[in-house]
Amino acid sequence: MILRIGLSIIVACLLSFKANAGFIYAPIAEPIISAAFNADFAALVAHRTIVGEQVNMVSLMDSSGGMLDLSDDFYGTSELINGDVPKINQGPLDTGVFSVSIPSAFFPVLQTGRVGIWFLATDTDDGLFAIDFLSLRIVTANSTVESFIDVNDGFKIGLADSAQLSSPLPDSIQIDATGTGFDEAISSKVHHNEIAEPTSISLLGIGLLLLLNLRGKRITQ
């Protein structure tokens, strides 16, 4: 019975961590000077809305689910059917990192080292683009912290930062190249990751203690 309960707690917590991993890094003790959210795109044309419905958005989240909406600052406010020119308007061979500053009111959350994200990117032109990585860049007086979702690896084709593609998608970056939504040609990408609550970590510890307790009893018998 104890074994089953312990295993159940551990499995539930591990599944929670897998589903809820966001930006995780060591807590920051010193004051933050500046911070930014960044994303590296290839061939993305991203209107903010289509017929009033948002198709491109990004929000950062704290451990309680509170959100910092960066969507308008990052993507702009363009509407496709109005013929607006989007803020992110790459050509078919263009790549580059786009950034948005994070307001100081959110710095206490950044200092915890645990930041969730709700991210949506959709190409509103030819329906194909690619993402290399998402990241946070946090600057203090003595250091710079960078936390990544995926990695900065040149779209897995060795492309230098902001270098042009050799040919349009999907020839240069193939569809289903990785199966992750990163480093492959896609039409839209949702990345909704909250951060694990301390309660989940405590439950994982309880599950491990139950298993160790059961193992100890078996050894002494």
150-161 pLDDT, tens digit per residue, is 999 999 999 999
**Tokens at 108, concatenated:** 């206490």
Residue 17: pLDDT band with limits 50, 70, 90: very low
How many whole angstroms separate alpha carbon 22 and alpha carbon 114? 7
How many whole angstroms separate alpha carbon 170 and alpha carbon 149? 23
pLDDT higher than threshold 80 for residue 128: yes
Looking at the fold, whether 207 and 138 belong to one and the same domain comes out as: no
Looking at the fold, whether 80 and 115 belong to one and the same domain comes out as: yes
What is the model's pLDDT at position 212?
Answer: 52
Element (H, E) at 139: strand 130-140
pLDDT higher than threshold 70 for residue 100: yes
* Alpha-carbon 120 to chain mean position: 10
Helix/strand/coil for 18? helix
Please answer whether residues 178 and 153 qualify as being in contact, where contact means their C-beta atoms are separated by less than 8 angstroms. Answer: no
Average pLDDT over residues 145-154: 96
Residue 43: pLDDT band with limits 50, 70, 90: very high
Q: Show the domain range for 138.
A: 22-195
Average pLDDT over residues 16-30: 74
pLDDT higher than threshold 70 for residue 215: no
Residue 195: pLDDT band with limits 50, 70, 90: low
Element (H, E) at 187: none
How many whole angstroms separate alpha carbon 26 and alpha carbon 221? 42
Helix/strand/coil for 89? strand
Looking at the fold, whether 13 and 27 belong to one and the same domain comes out as: no
The residue among 108 and 12 whose pLDDT is bigger is: 108
First vs last C-alpha separation in the chain: 17
Looking at the fold, whether 64 and 120 belong to one and the same domain comes out as: yes
pLDDT higher than threshold 80 for residue 7: no
Looking at the fold, whether 107 and 82 belong to one and the same domain comes out as: yes
Looking at the fold, whether 29 and 114 belong to one and the same domain comes out as: yes
Over its C-alpha atoms, the chain yields an Rg (Å, rounded) of 21
Looking at the fold, whether 97 and 9 belong to one and the same domain comes out as: no
What is the model's pLDDT at position 22?
Answer: 84
How many whole angstroms separate alpha carbon 217 and alpha carbon 221? 6
* DSSP assigned state of 8: H
Mean pLDDT of the chain: 84
Residue 65: pLDDT band with limits 50, 70, 90: confident
What is the model's pLDDT at position 163?
Answer: 97
Structure pTM?
0.79
Looking at the fold, whether 62 and 111 belong to one and the same domain comes out as: yes
Domain count, the chain: 2
% of the chain at pLDDT higher than 70: 78
Residue 64: pLDDT band with limits 50, 70, 90: confident
Looking at the fold, whether 168 and 200 belong to one and the same domain comes out as: no
In terms of Cβ atoms closer than 10 Å to its own Cβ (0-12, 13-18, 19+), residue 26 is exposed
* Listed residue (215, 204, 200) closest to 7, CA to CA: 204
Looking at the fold, whether 105 and 162 belong to one and the same domain comes out as: yes
Looking at the fold, whether 183 and 218 belong to one and the same domain comes out as: no
Looking at the fold, whether 103 and 179 belong to one and the same domain comes out as: yes
